[in-house]
Amino acid sequence: MKYKSQKVAYWFFALCMLLFALQIVYGFIMGFARIGMDGLHEFIPFNTARAVHTNLLVVWLLTGFMGAAYYIIPEEAQRELVSVKWAYIQLISLALVGVVAIVGYHFNHWEGRKFLEIPRELDYLVVANVLLFLGIILATLYKGKRRTTTALVLTMGLVFAALLYLPGMIWFDSQVTDSFFRWWVVHLWVEGVWELIMGGILAFLLIKITGIDREIIEKWLYVIVGLTFLSGILGTGHHYYYIGVNKIWLIVGGVFSALEPLAFLAMALFAVYMYRKGGRNHPNKLALFWTIGAAIVSFIGAGLLGFAHTLPQTNIYTHGTLVTAMHGHYAFWGAYAMIVLAIISYSLPNMTGRKRYDHVNGHMAFWFSNIGILGMVVAMGVAGVVQVYLERRLKMDFMVAQEEVKIHFVVMLLCAALFTLGIAMYIYEFIKHGKPTDEALEET
Amino acid sequence: MLSKSQARSFFLGGTVVTFMIFIGLTIYSMAPSNDQSNHENITEGVIRGKHLWETNNCMGCHTLLGEGGYYAPELTKVIDRKGEGMIRAILQSPVPWQPNGRKMVAYGMSDADADAMIEFFKWIGEIDLNGFDRVVSPLAKDRVPRQEED
Ligand code: HEM
Ligand code: HEM
Ligand SMILES: [Fe+2]
């Protein structure tokens, strides 16, 4: 049984596709600048391109999480959303705030705090928007027929994500303190509460796709999010090693962040095991690919590649180099981009009634994008290791080392082209599915 | 076998305990006696410099304390490496500074703004970074002996 109000999710996902496409454009602007082709410097200097690239990433992922919640919560709570009208208003206002912020970045209007570039006055609008979103979700849950663990974990993730935005809005005179609390947002999001959101979506998808008993899936969901917080909260210390705070973080951050991969490992094992054990042969193979893929790639990108530079002894050399950029790409892709693409792949045929789930385009989208980004990550990783060696061991000048790694960015751009082809096919398939209909939702 | 309610207790318990420790450690490292940043030296000029650093999103290209973009050099010890005069020239230049072909935005800063930036960088340069400052950039004092050896 499906609910008509789930249709709202479609429009959130459509906005995701648009913002994701734009994100990639700005990625190319930076990639080309790095190989000396910076013809756009006058209008879109590197710092503008970077702020737009990373902010669009965060915004399209959050839009995807919201869409996921609007799709999942009615089904879990077994009732329609309390207000569809307000959900659309929330979507439009979210898009407006996003557009204003992005346009502002082209006119030197921002706050140069990595990942939190949105100016303070717009922050208040973001807060209002998120409160509206949470209001709709919480009211629906409250009035719903059941309260499942999956819905609870997903909602808890969303509520905590909103609360954790606040420390990033406090004003500090000291760069050190500013940076300290900036990590309460950035780290505790991606290595904390967003994992709850990911876990909630993953559990929902596994229940639907594998047909395994909810009680079993949800028990392991608690174990996974338990591991996440147990390691991730104190793991924040891995950003405090070298920014001018007490040495105690070298030990605390080192030990606990080294445990963080366990949560991702648990997620990967859980997904693969449930899939193997599951009796149901769900026809939506693409959703399965993206779901299992997210669980595995997040373990590699966040777990393994994160571990590779998280010990203080290593991080002293890699801190703030292309090694970090390499990890950032694969972790964000595996954990959050792929889980959003998974819920879209699962829900789209249900909302539109077009069962294109085994179309060859969809499979090519999966493989091209995954092979493409793996190539990008390897290229960036090689560049990063070379940079660390030349600059930090041999003490070469920054730009001398950068000249040496230019060639790896040529390779990176070639792989990025393959990646982009994959994403273009994904978006093409999205469009081909057509619009959502009430009839389609009633049927399934 | 583990039951669902045991799993839930593990989640809630672990979260509450680690979060309390995290708050405790935060208070500990923010205590004035554990300050490594010479907090008392943060003058009006330093604050103004930080403001300029943010409103121009310098961090979009450069790293500072190892945080930021990877397109342009780390600036933690920049005064040490380049000297005040050079920095002033770069910040006040009306055309993009591009020593190696990679362009910086031309800020054309006023004297007062350039002063504030320099004060900010001086304060940053004095912070005790638990050893990172000796690794992060080829410091003048680390390089000179090497060059003399050649
Ligand atoms: C899905 C989860 C994750 C995402 C999306 C992610 C993303 C990122 C990003 C974007 C950065 C750069 C931050 C900045 O400099 O502002 C970063 C830094 C870092 N990440 Fe992760 N990460 C994840 C999980 C992990 C895990 C599990 C570990 C450790 C095991 C880890 C270890 C690190 C370390 C040590 C840094 C600091 C690098 C430096 O000093 O420059 N990350 N991460
Ligand atoms: C065509 C594809 C892409 C290209 C060419 C590209 C290129 C780049 C470049 C050049 C940077 C700046 C690194 C620097 O500061 O020097 C960057 C940053 C970043 N990109 Fe991408 N990107 C692409 C796609 C993606 C995707 C799909 C994601 C996420 C799933 C992503 C996430 C990030 C993140 C998190 C950062 C900040 C990393 C950090 O500060 O450590 N990018 N990207
Ligand atoms: Fe982190």
Residue nearest to atom 28 of ligand 2 (CA): A329
- Helical packing angle, B44-55 and A175-188, nearest 10°: 40
A43: which chain B residues are within 8 Å (Cβ-Cβ)? none
- End-to-end, the C-alpha distance of chain B in Å comes to 67
Residue A334 DSSP label: I
A130's CB contacts (< 8 A; 6+ apart) are A162, A165
Are B135 and A317 a contacting pair at CB < 8 A?
A: yes
DSSP H or E stretch at residue A172: none
Residue A70's SS3 state is: helix
Mean pLDDT of chain B: 91
Whole-number Å distance between alpha carbons of A30 and A9: 32
Sign, Cα dihedral of A49, A52, A53, A54: positive
Indicate whether B149 pLDDT > 90.
Answer: no
Q: Which of A102, A152, A213, A222 to mutate to test the interface with B (most CBs of B within 10 A)?
A: A222
Are A173 and B50 a contacting pair at CB < 8 A?
A: yes
Q: Which residue of A has its CA nearest to B101?
A: A36
Confidence category of residue B142, pLDDT binned at 50, 70, 90: low
pLDDT for position B103: 95
Are B54 and A51 a contacting pair at CB < 8 A?
A: no
Two structure tokens written together for A421: 């082809």
Quick check: CB of A28 below 6 Å from ligand 2? yes
Are B101 and A36 a contacting pair at CB < 8 A?
A: yes
pLDDT for position A285: 94
Angle at CA B76, nearest 5°, toward A123 and A245? Answer: 70
Counting one residue from chain A and one from chain B, the pairs whose CB atoms sit within 8 A come to: 199
Residue nearest to atom 7 of ligand 2 (CA): A27
pLDDT for position B135: 87
Place of tokens 């009796």: A279
Q: Does A34 touch chain B (CB under 8 A)?
A: yes
Angle at CA A242, nearest 5°, toward A237 and A247? Answer: 65
A316 near A238, Cβ under 8 Å? no
Whole-number Å distance between alpha carbons of A407 and B77: 28
Give the residue-averaged pLDDT of A411-429: 98
Backbone angles phi, psi at B63, to 5 degrees: -95, 155
Two structure tokens written together for A183: 């990590």
Indicate whether A385 pLDDT > 80.
Answer: yes
Are B3 and A222 a contacting pair at CB < 8 A?
A: no
Give the residue-averaged pLDDT of B68-76: 96
User: Do B95 and B136 fall within a single domain?
Assistant: yes
Quick check: CB of B69 below 6 Å from ligand 2? yes
Domain membership flag for residue A395: no
Two structure tokens written together for A69: 């919640």
Give the residue-averaged pLDDT of B41-64: 97
pTM over 0.90? The answer is: yes
From B79's Cα to the closest Cα of chain A, the distance in A is 15
From B64's Cα to the closest Cα of chain A, the distance in A is 9
Two structure tokens written together for A60: 């399209």
Residue B67: strand pairing partners: B64
Are A175 and B65 a contacting pair at CB < 8 A?
A: yes
User: Do B44 and B30 fall within a single domain?
Assistant: no
Confidence category of residue B140, pLDDT binned at 50, 70, 90: very low
Q: Does A259 touch chain B (CB under 8 A)?
A: no
Amino acid at A315: N
From B84's Cα to the closest Cα of chain A, the distance in A is 19
Residue B64's SS3 state is: strand
Amino acid at A386: V
Count of domains observed in chain A: 1
Whole-number Å distance between alpha carbons of A121 and B40: 29
From B88's Cα to the closest Cα of chain A, the distance in A is 20
| pLDDT tens digits, one per residue of A293-320 | 999 999 999 999 999 999 999 999 999 9
Count of domains observed in chain B: 2
Amino acid at B46: V
Give the residue-averaged pLDDT of A78-102: 97
Domain membership flag for residue A33: yes
Torsion of CA B93, B94, B98, B102, to 10 degrees: 120
- For residue A104, the number of C-alpha atoms closer than 13 Å in the C-beta half-sphere is 20
Indicate whether A176 pLDDT > 50.
Answer: yes
Whole-number Å distance between alpha carbons of B28 and B34: 7
Percent of chain A predicted with pLDDT > 70:
100
Give the residue-averaged pLDDT of A411-424: 98
Domain membership flag for residue A263: no
User: Do B49 and B105 fall within a single domain?
Assistant: yes
B128: which chain A residues are within 8 Å (Cβ-Cβ)? 244
A33: which chain B residues are within 8 Å (Cβ-Cβ)? 71, 102
User: Do B102 and B127 fall within a single domain?
Assistant: yes
Residues in chain A, overall count = 444
Give Cα A308 distance to the centre of its chain: 20
Whole-number Å distance between alpha carbons of A212 and A231: 28
| pLDDT tens digits, one per residue of A135-172 | 999 999 999 999 999 999 999 999 999 999 999 999 99
Indicate whether B141 pLDDT > 70.
Answer: no
> A444 or A262: whose pLDDT is higher?
A262
When CB atoms are compared, the residue of A41, A220, A243 closest to B65 is: A243
Taking the CB of residue A75, how many other CB atoms lie within 10 A of it?
20
A149: which chain B residues are within 8 Å (Cβ-Cβ)? 4
Domain that holds residue A138: 1-147
A330's CB contacts (< 8 A; 6+ apart) are A297, A300, A301, A302, A305, A373, A374, A377
Residue nearest to atom 33 of ligand 1 (CA): A306
Looking from the CA of residue A242, the nearest atom of ligand 1 is 40
| pLDDT tens digits, one per residue of A198-227 | 999 999 999 999 999 999 999 999 999 999
Are B102 and A399 a contacting pair at CB < 8 A?
A: yes
Query: What is the ipTM score, two decimals?
Result: 0.94
A385 near A331, Cβ under 8 Å? no
Mean pLDDT of chain A: 96
Q: Which residue of B has its CA nearest to A53?
A: B60
The answer for A172, left when phi > 0, alpha when psi is -120 to 50, beta otherwise, is beta
Indicate whether A276 pLDDT > 70.
Answer: yes
User: Do B30 and B42 fall within a single domain?
Assistant: no
pLDDT for position B145: 45
Q: Which CATH number does the domain housing residue B120 bear?
A: 1.10.760.10
Indicate whether B37 pLDDT > 90.
Answer: yes
| pLDDT tens digits, one per residue of A331-380 | 999 999 999 999 999 999 999 999 998 899 999 999 999 999 999 999 99
Percent of chain A predicted with pLDDT > 90:
95
pLDDT for position B144: 45
pLDDT for position A278: 86
Whole-number Å distance between alpha carbons of A190 and A330: 13
Residue B68: strand pairing partners: B63
Two structure tokens written together for A84: 């569809």
Q: Which residue of A has its CA nearest to B125?
A: A244
pLDDT for position A114: 95
Q: Which residue of B has its CA nearest to A232?
A: B18
A257: which chain B residues are within 8 Å (Cβ-Cβ)? none
Domain that holds residue B27: 1-34
B4: which chain A residues are within 8 Å (Cβ-Cβ)? 149, 215, 218-219, 222
